[in-house]
Amino acid sequence: MNEFELIKHCFYWPQNNNDIICAVGDDASIVQVPSGYELVQSIDTQVADVHFPASAPPQLIAQRALRCAISDLAAMGAKPQAFHLALSLPKDTSQTWLESFSSGLRACADEYSISLIGGDTTSCPSIVITIQVQGLVPAGKALTRDQAQAGDDIWLSGEIGRSAAALENILATPKIFRENDNGLAAAYYYPQAQIDLGQQLIGLANSAMDISDGLLQDASHIAKASDCCLNIESQNIPLNILSIEQFGQTQALQFALRGGDDYQLLFTAPIAVRHKIEDLDCYRIGSVRELAEKSNNNHNDNNSQGKWILLDDQIIENTAMGYQHF
């Protein structure tokens, strides 16, 4: 097959969404946004041997890439609508690889009811996967990072640290992964984008984000955007039992604090709605405080070391928070 035939073979499948006017195959896609809604969009790139092992099963690479992107929609309280795929591959990529990648992508797209509406395929020495996702949110209701209020509870949607714990196993044997494995690796390859919860949090949460770079670092983004301080209580962080079993309690906590890739939601909400959020099976892990240095209006990171995040009332320096890409 030539380039166009191969793309058609792997990435054209029927879409069932009235918002999609034109999908894959023209210069551009066309969607409508229903009256009363806004469009939430995010773009995410994953690079072989940076974000996933190049030799991992292609269907898992696709699953993980799309799930991680969709998670940003969950963090905004949006309902998935559509996505575009930019796929850069080495010239010697086999049709089998591409078909496997496509099957994983489609399975994930079906699970989250999100339509593939466009893309670009290019040759590149590395495998680079960029996915742009979009979803709908009632106008003015999106969950952002900048509305956390002093006095808010801090919440987590579920266990964290499991994906970071999985990484050591995955890097040791990247090609081995059993389908339906419920071990650590499932958290890495099949992160669960909290789409339903995100939508339920509209009207309850003041701020929200998904945890991709680690709890402490991501919590600092809410703190900086909202100009407040987040105090995390380590004993209330839900740790994964498999992570504790393999690595011990202390390391499992470190994975939870500084490891990324869990894609649970971190959010803050007024105490008044605490009982409603407990009904959603979330974990209360701390509280939002006023900034200690209220007189300092310069939010430049260089001048604000260590005022954004407390762990058990102890200041955490910005440099000790988690993964940085550069």
Which chain residues interact with a copy of itself by CB under 8 A? Answer: 2-6, 21-22, 25-33, 35, 38-47, 50-51, 72-73, 75-76, 78, 84-86, 88, 91, 93, 117-126, 128, 130, 132, 137, 139, 142, 144-146, 208-210, 225, 301-302, 318, 324-326
Q: How far apart are CA 134 and CA 236, in angstroms?
A: 33
Which one, 52 or 177, has the nearer CB to a copy of itself? 52
Shortest distance, position 132 Cβ to a copy of itself, whole Å: 5
Shortest distance, position 155 Cβ to a copy of itself, whole Å: 16
Which one, 7 or 252, has the nearer CB to a copy of itself? 7
Shortest distance, position 7 Cβ to a copy of itself, whole Å: 9
Which one, 48 or 186, has the nearer CB to a copy of itself? 48
Q: How far apart are CA 230 and CA 149, in angstroms?
A: 10
217 Rama sector, left if φ>0, alpha if ψ -120 to 50, beta otherwise: alpha
Shortest distance, position 247 Cβ to a copy of itself, whole Å: 26
Which one, 2 or 235, has the nearer CB to a copy of itself? 2
Which one, 39 or 291, has the nearer CB to a copy of itself? 39
249-258 and 215-226 helices, crossing angle to 10°:
40
8 A C-beta contact, residue 295 and residue 222? no
User: Where do we find the tokens 């469009």?
Assistant: 39
151 Rama sector, left if φ>0, alpha if ψ -120 to 50, beta otherwise: left
Q: How far apart are CA 67 and CA 208, in angstroms?
A: 18
Let me know the angle formed at the C-alpha of 74 by 260 and 323, rounded to the nearest 5 degrees.
Answer: 15
Q: How far apart are CA 56 and CA 52, in angstroms?
A: 7
Shortest distance, position 317 Cβ to a copy of itself, whole Å: 12
Q: Of 262, 284, 149, 180, nearest to 214 (Cα)?
A: 262
Q: What does DSSP assign to residue 312? A: T
Q: How far apart are CA 266 and CA 42, in angstroms?
A: 18
Which one, 23 or 239, has the nearer CB to a copy of itself? 23
Shortest distance, position 51 Cβ to a copy of itself, whole Å: 7
Which one, 139 or 271, has the nearer CB to a copy of itself? 139
Shortest distance, position 14 Cβ to a copy of itself, whole Å: 17
Shortest distance, position 114 Cβ to a copy of itself, whole Å: 14
Structure tokens belonging to residue 290: 């006023």
Phi, psi of 67 (to 5 degrees): -60, -45
Q: Of 60, 67, 156, 139, nearest to 100 (Cα)?
A: 60
Q: How far apart are CA 59 and CA 100, in angstroms?
A: 5
Which one, 128 or 150, has the nearer CB to a copy of itself? 128
